[in-house]
Chains A and B, each alone.
Chain A
């Protein structure tokens, strides 16, 4: 375990950014989001949740796939992938860190998505334990301990210090490169940190969504849940705006589109939402013509279909972003509860 004074953090950012790109929550246009650090950046590690999740560093909202040149009847395919460079993402909360494991199951399963894989290989994840979990948080329902996040390096704020604990070889390498900025933590520090973590876990237990029970969910009773009449009422106010999918750290649906640049065609992929009516639209119609069906698809996928394909694991980490952002105040918690998953 290492530590660094809070007021020296800018030196730490600068040292990391000297060798590789550093993504860190910054206030950009008044909102906290992961952004590339540079001198004078308005770093914001105090806000608990960035608006968009950290998945963006591995699965960008918009990403070029391949370019084409066309001339008459001829087409040339141009591989526009750039050589990947190492980068660090700092300040990832425990829930977002867990979402990477869920996205891994999608993008790293055969056949592998090489765009995602390359970024995963080149990225070092520095997590940050939550100091003040908020009322929309329910990560504990998915077995996540927000006081002890995973990652290549886990960090924790306590008193005057940021504590720094490397957890993987990647994390150790980064730590070694920053040795002259990090002090070694002593027994007193360890004790203070343990107390801090204990306090955080106590706060977690007092949160309104603590104890959310997911035992009614999982791979079983797929058709019974699908055919339930509850979906109609749950979805009745849904606007289909898709905000929940865009802030979600585990939503991974994407669209592939072509952009005619005038001197060539750029094929790119971008986040999409199963909440949209054209998501499944084909020439002869769509299999999900109603918002109820689209709403049901999103939650069935997270709570039933994904677990069915991934050993019972849910495609939700309880970050609570959708709980905060939904304009009609509907969310996954209400869906979980509607099927008997009452909080304790």
Chain B
């Protein structure tokens, strides 16, 4: 019988890392010990625990990682509560990849890249950042601006500190919302920090975070002279099928699961503001 995109495969959780009080990163491989499927940075997958629920998550690991896929998941609902309670060795179902991903082989190639993330918004960008690191000569300078509520809420902090910050031509700028003991870095919201940072308005921006953070950061970028055509963001809506048929993630004539989740900010202006 034909394969159907709605029928998942089984994966095993081989590692669980606690990133923050409410974010864990899950490492998943297929039953054969290999990756369940190949993907591109920014693409997503449907994860489920049968009998609980199925939902769409961005794949946070880079496709250049040949051993496993990773998902950084915030505890915020029925399925994610369940996922946060599992132990290593738990099996889950996986299907994908879905969506377009960031244009890493097209528009982003040869460009200086600015990654701006807020909170769990780093998850989809981490895939691109590590893809860029693995294909370093194809991309220019990299600037990372990442903010969170507190020091404890910075996802992938160890990787940022020990790997990204040491990469050649990588500039990492971290910020937290309020002062905190033991933090000697920047304090303040991402949009304000972006304005302080002397960013080059000729560079290409990848932006992901809570809707309110995206809105104000985009306004700050425009103020700095960036054009919306230089800014890529990734969206999230409720999804059931992942293939543009169940109707749930429909905005205007687009389906976020199929036509997105990555959109250029000027494309968003042509869509109804219903996200």
Contact = CB atoms under 8 A, between A and B. Distances in A.
A223 B80 CA distance: 35
Contact of A256 (B10, B51, B241, B250): B241
B247 A66 contact: no
Give the interface centre of B3, B4, B89 by most chain A CB atoms within 10 Å: B4
* Residue among A109, A111, A305 facing the most chain B CB atoms (10 A cut-off): A111
Interface in A57-77: 65-66, 68, 70, 73-77
Contacts of B236: 282
Contact of A282 (B1, B92, B238, B245): B238
A222 B252 contact: yes
B248 A280 contact: yes
A305 B253 contact: yes
A289 to B, nearest CB: 10
Interface in B40-63: 48, 50-54
Contact of A222 (B52, B93, B244, B253): B253
A334 B236 CA distance: 33
Interface in A65-124: 65-66, 68, 70, 73-77, 79, 81, 106-107, 109, 111-115, 117-118
Interface in A301-320: 301, 304-305, 308-309
Given A113-B243, A279-B248, A283-B77, A260 B6 contact: no
Contacts of A114: 1-4
B246 A79 contact: no
B7 interface: yes
Given A79-B1, A282-B237, A293 B246 contact: no
A172 B24 CA distance: 60
Interface residues of A, number: 54
B252 A226 contact: yes
B252 A68 contact: no
- Interface centre among A255, A256, A265, A301, by most chain B C-beta atoms within 10 angstroms, is A256
Contacts of B272: 222-223, 226, 300
Contacts, number: 130
Given A77-B7, A79-B7, A305-B252, A252 B247 contact: yes
B25 interface: no
A307 to B, nearest CB: 9
A219 B253 contact: yes
A73 B252 CA distance: 41
B275 interface: yes
Interface in B91-131: 91-93
Contacts of A75: 10, 50, 91-93
Nearest to B87: A73
Interface in A25-73: 65-66, 68, 70, 73
Given A74-B91, A222-B253, A305-B252, A267 B50 contact: yes
Given A65-B6, A111-B5, A256-B241, A70 B252 contact: no
B84 interface: no
B134 interface: no
A254 B238 contact: no
A283 B270 CA distance: 26
B236 to A, nearest CB: 8
Given A73-B90, A79-B1, A287-B274, A256 B80 contact: no
A70 B50 contact: yes
Nearest to A227: B272
Interface string B1-37: 1111111111000000000000000000000000000
A284 interface: yes
A256 B54 contact: yes
Contact of A297 (B10, B48, B250, B275): B250
Nearest to B13: A73
Contacts of A283: 76-77, 80
Contact of B50 (A73, A226, A253, A258): A258
Given A77-B7, A280-B248, 14 more contacts: A66-B6, A66-B8, A73-B87, A113-B243, A118-B2, A253-B246, A253-B247, A255-B246, A256-B54, A269-B246, A282-B237, A282-B238, A301-B247, A305-B250
Interface of B: 1-10, 48, 50-54, 76-77, 80, 86-87, 89-93, 236-238, 240-241, 243-248, 250-253, 270, 272, 274-275
